């Protein structure tokens, strides 16, 4: 049971990184509606790119975790 809790704690942490990507996209959109300068654009796009890389890594880890839970913790039918 403790190991399963650890997996779900990890899922929670991974979902926070995915949510951070969404927030960076919302911030970029908000900035585009107000002041549009090259500096703001570059910062926002770099922020989005960084979050996308994190999410890419997170999705790989998430896939591994789900595979582990499936193979170890689920009863085979």
Domain ranges of the chain: 2-73
Q: What SS3 class is residue 37?
A: coil
Going residue by residue through the chain (77 aa), what tens digit of pLDDT does each one get?
567 678 788 888 888 888 888 888 888 777 776 665 677 777 888 888 888 888 888 888 888 888 888 888 777 65
d(CA 66, CA 68) in angstroms, rounded, equals 5
For 76, the token pair is 């085979």
CA angle 48-51-53, nearest 5°? 110
| Short-list 9, 29, 13, 17, CA closest to 54 | 17
User: Can you list the positions of beta strands (E) in the chain?
Assistant: none
Instruction: Confirm whether pTM is higher than 0.85.
Output: no
């Amino acid at each position: 049971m403790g190991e399963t809790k650890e997996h779900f704690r990890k899922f929670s942490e991974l979902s926070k990184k995915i949510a951070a990507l969404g927030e960076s996209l919302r911030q970029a959109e908000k900035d585009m509606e107000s002041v549009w300068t090259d500096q703001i654009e570059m910062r926002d796009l770099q922020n989005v790119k960084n979050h996308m890389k994190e999410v890419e890594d997170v999705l790989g880890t998430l896939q591994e975790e789900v595979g582990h839970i499936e193979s170890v913790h689920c009863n085979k039918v």
